[in-house]
């Protein structure tokens, strides 16, 4: 038998989580990107092997996407686009965040909430990246014969620019709507 628990986060609750994310972003400014990425990779590996609640396991998949987005050489993000993703990873890797991670059953609850919030905030970036990954996987099948590396690279670059342009346009549109 499953049990559904719905938690409604008020504007005040969301402000609290966003403050914590800003705190993590400040920490990112003084932390080395490679250290954060390595810690996130270790965390993903550790959590993948653990017996996790389903609400955390679902967010673990999202965490993997965030990590992949930053480590994919074919998907270079500008510093302003990398920063929120690094902040989310830094937050999740901090064992002494809002709810300390070593508390059985609920220690990862705040991390799951934070990942969900970041995933919603970065939906355009994540959607563009997932579209790029799908395009990259399908590209060799689209080209007849055996394409050379230069042709593949040119097609990937063109598609990446299209998707990043779409991502930035949608982000700008969201900011205009929010500013009203």
**Helical packing angle, 33-49 and 79-93, nearest 10°:** 50
Residue pLDDT, tens place only, 19-75: 887 777 777 666 788 888 998 899 889 888 888 777 778 888 888 999 999 999 999
Give residue limits of the domains in the chain: 12-121, 123-180
Whole-prediction pTM: 0.79
Asked if 91 and 20 count as a contact pair (C-beta separation under 8 A), the reply is: yes
Using only the alpha carbons of the chain, give its radius of gyration: 18
Question: Between helices 54-71 and 109-121, what is the axis angle to 10°?
Answer: 50
What CA–CA distance (Å, rounded) separates 62 from 122? Answer: 11
- Taking the C-alpha atoms of residue 59 and residue 148, their distance in angstroms, rounded to an integer, is 38
Question: pLDDT tens digits for 52-64?
Answer: 777 778 888 888 9
């Amino acid at each position: 038998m499953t049990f559904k628990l719905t938690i409604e986060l008020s504007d005040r609750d969301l402000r609290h989580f966003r403050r914590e994310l800003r705190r993590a972003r400040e920490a990112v400014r003084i932390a080395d990107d490679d250290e954060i990425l390595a810690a996130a990779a270790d965390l993903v590996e550790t959590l993948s092997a653990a017996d996790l609640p389903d609400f955390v396991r679902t967010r673990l998949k999202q965490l993997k996407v965030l990590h992949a987005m930053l480590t994919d050489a074919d998907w270079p993000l500008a510093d302003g686009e990398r920063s929120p993703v690094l902040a989310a990873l830094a937050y999740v890797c901090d064992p002494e965040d809002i709810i300390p991670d070593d508390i059985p059953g609920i220690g990862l609850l705040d991390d799951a909430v934070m990942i969900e919030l970041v995933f919603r905030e970065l939906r355009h970036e994540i959607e563009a990246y997932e579209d790029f990954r799908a395009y990259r996987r399908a590209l060799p099948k689209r080209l007849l014969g055996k394409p050379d590396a230069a042709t593949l690279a040119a097609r990937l670059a063109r598609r990446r620019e299209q998707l990043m342009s779409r991502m930035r346009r949608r982000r700008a549109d969201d900011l205009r709507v929010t500013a009203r």
